[in-house]
């Protein structure tokens, strides 16, 4: 409840009807996103997967530097690929998304849970990647990885806060790596 004399501002309504936080400190919210740039920037800096310059395995000793997989809600592998560049580059995730979406009916709505789902969502919109699929994709962050994100990312990208995820935790790849 807002009283007269209270300087608190009501949340502004975005163009899609969702409520978004105010931009009181010049912190922009990019079109199609719900999270301020400062929060997305902080998440991007704090995660190894979001930074292609952080290298876990040097590429000079191995032809493949890692593997990446897309699994379904039931933890079954859909696509499995070798990574050949040092660092975890976002193009691997986009390649898997494109491969999976190309096999699905065009009218399907698809949820994508990824450790850095906020960063993938931001990049897809910023660089107009996967334009044919974006209207059909809902991004979220895997449950256990959300707690490493900024609180506003936790609010918007936590799968338990959305109505499409049920009790899916998005940690199927973690279970896959453990089984391997």
* Domain membership flag for residue 168: yes
* Tens digit of each residue's pLDDT (9 = 90 or more) over 29-82: 999 999 999 999 998 888 765 455 555 555 566 677 788 999 999 999 999 999
Would you place residue 10 in the very low, low, confident or very high pLDDT band (cuts 50, 70, 90)? very low
* Domain membership flag for residue 132: yes
Would you place residue 102 in the very low, low, confident or very high pLDDT band (cuts 50, 70, 90)? very high
Q: Which residue has the tokens 């690929």?
A: 81
* Domain membership flag for residue 80: no
Residue 7, pLDDT > 60, answer no
Half-sphere exposure of 19 (CA within 13 A, CB side): 6
Higher per-residue confidence, 25 vs 69: 69
* Domain membership flag for residue 109: yes
Nearest to 72 by CA among 52, 96, 36, 48: 96
* Tens digit of each residue's pLDDT (9 = 90 or more) over 103-155: 999 999 999 999 999 999 999 999 999 999 999 999 999 998 988 899 999 99
Give strand ranges (E) for 11-161.
12-13, 19-20, 66-71, 77-83, 110-113, 137-140
If DSSP codes are grouped into helix, strand and coil, which group holds residue 177? Answer: helix
* Domain membership flag for residue 141: yes
Please enumerate in sequence order all residues whose Cβ is within 8 A of that of 26, keeping only pairs 6 or more positions apart, or say none: none
* Domain membership flag for residue 78: no
Nearest to 136 by CA among 93, 114, 164, 106: 106
The domain containing residue 170 runs over which residues?
Answer: 33-52+89-179
| pLDDT for res 74 | 93
Residue 13, pLDDT > 60, answer no
* Domain membership flag for residue 75: no
| pLDDT for res 125 | 96
Higher per-residue confidence, 19 vs 170: 170
Distance CA 106, CA 58 (A): 39
Domain count for the chain, please give it: 1
* Domain membership flag for residue 134: yes
């Amino acid at each position: 409840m807002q009283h007269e004399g209270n300087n608190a501002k009501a949340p502004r309504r975005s163009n899609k009807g969702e409520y978004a936080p105010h931009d009181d400190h010049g912190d922009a919210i990019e079109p199609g996103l719900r999270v301020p740039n400062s929060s997305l920037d902080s998440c991007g800096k704090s995660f190894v997967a979001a930074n292609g310059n952080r290298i876990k395995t040097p590429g000079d000793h191995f032809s493949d530097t890692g593997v990446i997989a897309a699994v379904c809600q039931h933890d079954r592998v859909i696509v499995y690929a070798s990574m050949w560049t040092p660092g975890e580059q976002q193009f691997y995730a986009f390649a898997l998304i494109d491969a999976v979406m190309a096999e699905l009916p065009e009218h399907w709505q698809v949820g994508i849970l990824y450790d850095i789902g906020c960063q993938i969502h931001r990049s897809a919109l910023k660089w107009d990647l996967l334009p044919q699929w974006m209207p059909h994709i809902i991004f979220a962050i895997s449950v256990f990885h959300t707690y490493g994100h900024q609180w506003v990312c936790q609010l918007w990208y936590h799968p338990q806060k959305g109505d499409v995820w049920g009790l899916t935790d998005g940690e199927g790849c973690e279970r896959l790596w453990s089984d391997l």
